[in-house]
Structure 1
Amino acid sequence: MRNQIRLEDYRTPKAKIFTGRDRGIQVREDSKIDKLEEEFSIIEFIIPTNLYSINPSFFEELFVNVVTKLGERGFYDKFKFINEGNYNYQKPLDEAVTRILRKKTALDI
């Protein structure tokens, strides 16, 4: 089964960026991403048009639980990113995933 999370649904009106840990936490809670991850085999994550930036800290807090649970490969296998605009989200997303996994590794030692 598939489900979609449309980042547009969580955008502040007219905002061109998603930034900050607090905002990432809020979108994680509002989207119920952790519950959706348990219920669906594929989750399409839709990046909206007209964005200038998504900071790694936003992605880090948004995806911390699912990346920690699934690992890098499992996360990218389950979450399919669809970009409706031109913003290159991949670099900040990869940086966030790396940070999450590095924190987990440091804590496990």
Structure 2
Amino acid sequence: MEKIKNTINLEDFRVKDVKKGTISKVFTGRDRGKKVREDSKIDKIEAENDTVEIIIPDNIYSINPSFFEELFVNVVRKLGKERFLAKFNFTSVGDYVYEKPLNEAIDRILRSKTALD
């Protein structure tokens, strides 16, 4: 059985409007994060690989912590912060600085109570 590819390129999950020829420059919201988590099969990718590469595409204006929170909820709970950051490698193709929203999302996931509890 072939091993599943260990790369998730967020470019593949941008919202595109073919009629207008536009493409989303933000990743925001829990619902979007959940959809990308499910569609990317991130939980399976994490389970079957020693490392996981997350590629943040060029021309991104914002990635909200709530998006990251829902995208990474299962793998962060499974691995904890240190092991998650050691296993998941992030590459920002453009100049988007993702560390602050990512760390905020990780901290939210690991809190015992969330705003939704």
Q: What's the TM-score bracket when you normalise by the shorter of the two chains?
A: over 0.9
The answer on whether the counterparts of 2:28 and 2:67 sit within 8 Å (CA) in structure 1 is yes
Aligned residues: 105
Task: Say yes or no: does 1:3 pair with 2:6.
Answer: yes
Secondary structure of the corresponding residue to residue 45 of structure 1: strand
Deviations along 1:18-51, whole A, 9 cap, x unmatched?
A: 0000000000000000011100000000000000
Report 1:7-18 matches (<5 A): 7-13=10-16, 14-18=23-27
Which structure is higher in helix share? 1
Question: Alpha-carbon deviation of 1:3?
Answer: 1.3
Normalising by structure 1, we get a TM-score of 0.92
CA RMSD of aligned residues (A): 1.4
Please tell me whether Structure 1 or Structure 2 has the larger radius of gyration of its CA atoms: 2
**Gap regions ≥5 residues in structure 1:** none
Show structure 1 runs of 4+ deviating over 2 A: none
Normalising by structure 2, we get a TM-score of 0.86
Task: Say yes or no: does 1:57 pair with 2:66.
Answer: yes
Aligned mate of 1:98, from 74, 90, 107: 107
